[in-house]
Amino acid sequence: MNDLRILVVGAGATGGYFGGRLLQAARDVTFLVRPGRAKLLRARGLRIVGLGEETVLHPPIVETGALDETYDLVLLAVKATALTGAIDDFAPAVGTETLVLPFLNGMAHIDSLVARFGEAAVLGGVAKVVTTVDDDGDIRRLGPLQNLTYGARAEPAPPRLSDVDAALTGAGFPAARDDAITGAMWAKWVFIASIGGVNALMRGTTGDVVAVPGGAAFAEAVVAEAAAVAEAAGHPVPAADLEATRRTVSDPGTGGSSLYRDLLGGHPVEGEQIFGDLTARARELGLSVPLLDLVTLQLRVHNHRTG
Ligand SMILES: NC(=O)C1=CN([C@@H]2O[C@H](COP(=O)(O)OP(=O)(O)OC[C@H]3O[C@@H](n4cnc5c(N)ncnc54)[C@H](OP(=O)(O)O)[C@@H]3O)[C@@H](O)[C@H]2O)C=CC1
Ligand SMILES: CC(C)(CO)C(=O)C(=O)O
């Protein structure tokens, strides 16, 4: 598996960004997209814009339903709300040697992927990037953060992981293998539940929230609830990561999460996967998480209203 053949499932904010960068670095990348996105990509190209950049790429694309070969690596970059359909759509790309690396926030997707493709095929992954699909359909960077970590969720790591390393590193964004990827995914989950919870409950950026009396204490209380669940579940967030999360939610300059952008845009949000799952685990572990329960309920109402 020297020249790794990569299928990026979803050419949205994360898949379009990291897949686009890999393409720029001359990796063998194909995008699996649905018909609407295919039409737009053919018409405009895949554009990465913002922060002074206007890159236009013309990636190879395959439309869902037309996949007729397997790939070495699948980068899964769909929202959790689209996961079930996406699994069916990319399944023909998964052969006996294929590895699947998901970018999704939360943890629930791992169970769905393992149930379909088996333990050995599914890597853990943490994507950090501040991008959105703008009104023109372009991938718009809203901030400089960009990095990707990935790794085997259990020992022994698949030997093919070194090929994944070779493909993902040195491609224009920081990328690194993490041998404790499950812990890293939990740490990211706590981070995204904290920032997303603060945004969703207060309908403001963390900057808006910490600007008012009581805002910083509220933000701290959301972080504490999320961190307590991770700890009780056996995945305590390392002190440095927790400190970074606390700093981020108390920083007046911090914007909003992708969940908050979806919420403001009136789109369905990943409420069950980021909050419902966390609060269900809290209940099983005998923890009380009243703020996270409120976020869960609020996002259920939002998703019910937006259909
Ligand atoms: N945006 C961000 O800044 C970050 C997001 N994340 C996480 O990454 C994950 C992906 O989010 P994000 O990239 O933002 O989502 P987007 O909605 O921007 O992109 C998802 C893309 O997946 C496509 N898609 C859905 N179903 C299928 C399918 N069956 N086959 C092919 N393509 C499909 C959608 O295409 P269509 O146009 O057809 O609907 C859409 O373009 C989420 O879990 C999110 O929480 C993590 C870090 C940062
Ligand atoms: C960490 C952050 C805020 C950016 O990667 C994110 O994951 C999101 O917006 O969903």
Binding pocket residue ranges, ligand 2, CB within 6 Å: 105, 128-130, 145, 192, 195, 257-258
Choosing from 107, 258, 261 the residue with most ligand 2 atoms within 8 A of its CB, the one to mutate for a pocket test is 258
Instruction: Report pTM.
Output: 0.97
pLDDT digits (tens, 9 = 90+) for 175-194: 999 999 999 999 999 999 99
Whole-number Å distance between alpha carbons of 189 and 229:
10
Which residues sit opposite 29 in a β-bridge? 6
Range name among 101-105, 110-114, 166-170, 303-307 with the lowest pLDDT average: 303-307
3-class secondary structure, 196: helix
The pLDDT tens digits of the residues spanning 224-240 come to 999 999 999 999 999 99
Could you tell me the domains of the chain?
5-178 (3.40.50.720), 184-306 (1.10.1040.10)
User: ipTM strictly over 0.95?
Assistant: yes
Predicted pLDDT at 254 = 80
Q: Is residue 49 pLDDT above 80, yes or no?
A: yes
Tokens of 200: 């969703």
Which pLDDT tens digit goes with each residue over 254-275? 877 899 999 999 999 999 999 9
Q: Which atom of ligand 1 is nearest to the CA of 85?
A: 29
- Give me 225's structure tokens: 């609830």
Q: Name the DSSP class of 3.
A: S
Q: What's residue 237's pLDDT?
A: 98
